[in-house]
Amino acid sequence: MSARVAHAQDTHHHSTEKPLIQCYKCGEPCKGEVLRVQNKHFHLKCFTCKVCGCDLAQGGFFMKNGEYLCTLDYQRMHGTRCNGCGDFVEGEVVTALGKTYHPACFVCTICKRPFPAGDRVTFNGKDCLCQYCVEPMSPGPKDILGSSNCAGCGRDIKNGQALLALDKQWHLGCFKCKACSKVLTGEYISKDGAPYCEKDYQIHFGVQCEACHQFITGKVLEAGDKHYHPSCARCSRCNQMFTEGEEMYLQGSTVWHPGCKNTTRTEERHRERLLPPSLLFLQKTERQVLYSLLAMRWHHPVFYHIHRTRCIVCCHLLETACSALSVCHTEPFSLVF
């Protein structure tokens, strides 16, 4: 916020006097009362918020990128909210684990007391604890707190912010992902005693959904050696999701409700009974033989021709004068479909 001074500008001046002061906003000469903000001058009516146009002469204001904004618009556009109370922060702030607080809002999760300046703050992966509350919460406090060395760099952790994770103490800047070395300021995933960011953990150890091919976090639905998000596993017949604990039938890469699979099997058997096992329809069109429906199973390689058509095996014209179907006795072979 910048200081401002209002003073009167003499409207009468002689030719030897300095020229009138110009308004920074409108460029017109300032007459009467003039508002000075740092080294700039404004008409009182010209000193307004860039966003909402409200009068800034009687209230607080901020300057951002050369523009003047009222407090409300500045906070809405550029302000930082306290992670504790949710209000905008001004003046003195506390920053911890990438979050900003009012000093009075940065308190121990258990006893709710603000942390004294210079006191040790311990983050256990979820909560920020003062040095008096951390010992009862820590398994084996003598083993963990007996050494004040950082598990990352090995140097001593002096008074200040410390992090308790994986049964060890760390400088906040030393608690990093083992794969990418990014400082972990929030949630992390451990593997074999080492911390990882979620992205690298998924790349190295994650499980992919068989349906959407995205990595799975949280609940996972398993079918054989395949894994699914609960919302991605859908029955191939009814397209409905599977409820938790519901039985699942797996065939290849598809999953079924047992009832839906049984219904599908019944329908397939019914279709097979309706279809003769060796039915073959022939049609003569432009002296070629067209197959409308091929036999489901071939037990003997037999080939049929319509009168005066070419054999599809030897390409010779049939010599018989019979109008019925005739057989060409060439070397037999099997059709593969």
Q: How confident is the model over 301-331, as pLDDT tens digits?
A: 444 444 455 555 556 665 544 433 444 444 4
Same domain for 116 and 187 = no
Please give the pLDDT value at position 334: 38
Same domain for 261 and 166 = yes
> Considering the entire predicted model, what is its pTM?
0.35
Residue 53, token pair as written in the block: 């146009």
Same domain for 244 and 178 = yes
Same domain for 165 and 117 = no
Residue 156 lies in a domain: no
Which stretch of 18-27, 75-84, 159-168, 286-295 has the lowest confidence by average pLDDT? 286-295
Mean pLDDT of 41-50: 84
Same domain for 256 and 218 = yes
Residue 293 lies in a domain: no
Taking 80 as the threshold, does the pLDDT of residue 52 lie above it?
yes
Mean pLDDT of the chain: 69
Which amino acid belongs to residue 156?
Answer: D
| Distance between CA atoms of residues 157 and 337, nearest Å | 75
Residue 1 lies in a domain: no
Please give the pLDDT value at position 180: 93
Provide, rounded to the nearest whole percent, the portion of the chain with pLDDT above 70.
59
Residue 123 lies in a domain: yes
| Distance between CA atoms of residues 17 and 122, nearest Å | 67
Q: Is 274 exposed, middle or buried (0-12, 13-18, 19+ CB in 10 A)?
A: exposed
Which amino acid belongs to residue 248?
Answer: M
Please give the pLDDT value at position 328: 47
Same domain for 229 and 177 = yes
Same domain for 224 and 171 = yes
Taking 80 as the threshold, does the pLDDT of residue 51 lie above it?
yes
Same domain for 69 and 168 = no
Which amino acid belongs to residue 300?
Answer: H
The residue among 228, 251, 269 that closes a domain is 269
The residue among 269, 297, 324 that closes a domain is 269
Q: What are phi and psi of 44, to 5 degrees?
A: -60, -40
Residue 51 lies in a domain: yes
| Distance between CA atoms of residues 128 and 165, nearest Å | 12
Residue of 264 and 85 predicted with greater confidence: 85
Q: How far is CA 86 from the centre of its chain?
A: 24
Taking 70 as the threshold, does the pLDDT of residue 282 lie above it?
no
For residue 125, what are the β-bridge partners? none
Residue 171 lies in a domain: yes
Q: What are phi and psi of 104, to 5 degrees?
A: -75, -15
Residue 311 lies in a domain: no
Please give the pLDDT value at position 315: 60
Taking 60 as the threshold, does the pLDDT of residue 34 lie above it?
yes
Mean pLDDT of 65-85: 83
pLDDT digits (tens, 9 = 90+) for 85-132: 888 877 777 777 667 788 888 888 888 888 876 666 777 667 788 877
For the chain, the maximum distance between any two Cα atoms, rounded to a whole number of angstroms, is 131
Helix (H) / strand (E) containing 203: helix 198-205
CB 77 within 8 A of CB 69: yes
Coil/strand/helix, residue 226 = strand
SS (H, E, C) 19-55: CCCECCCCCCECCEEEEEECCEEEEHHHCECCCCCCE
Same domain for 126 and 220 = no
Considering Cα of 38, then 39, then 41, then 42, what sign does the dihedral take?
negative
Please give the pLDDT value at position 283: 41
Residue 87 lies in a domain: no
Same domain for 166 and 125 = no
Please give the pLDDT value at position 207: 78
CB 303 within 8 A of CB 309: no
Q: Which domain holds residue 103?
A: 98-130
Residue 181, token pair as written in the block: 């070395």
The domain that holds 118 is classified in CATH as 2.10.110.10
Residue 143, token pair as written in the block: 């083993």
| Distance between CA atoms of residues 43 and 9, nearest Å | 11
Same domain for 224 and 182 = yes
Same domain for 178 and 119 = no
Number of domains in the chain: 3
pLDDT digits (tens, 9 = 90+) for 191-215: 888 888 888 888 888 778 888 888 8
Residue of 278 and 164 predicted with greater confidence: 164
CB 325 within 8 A of CB 304: yes
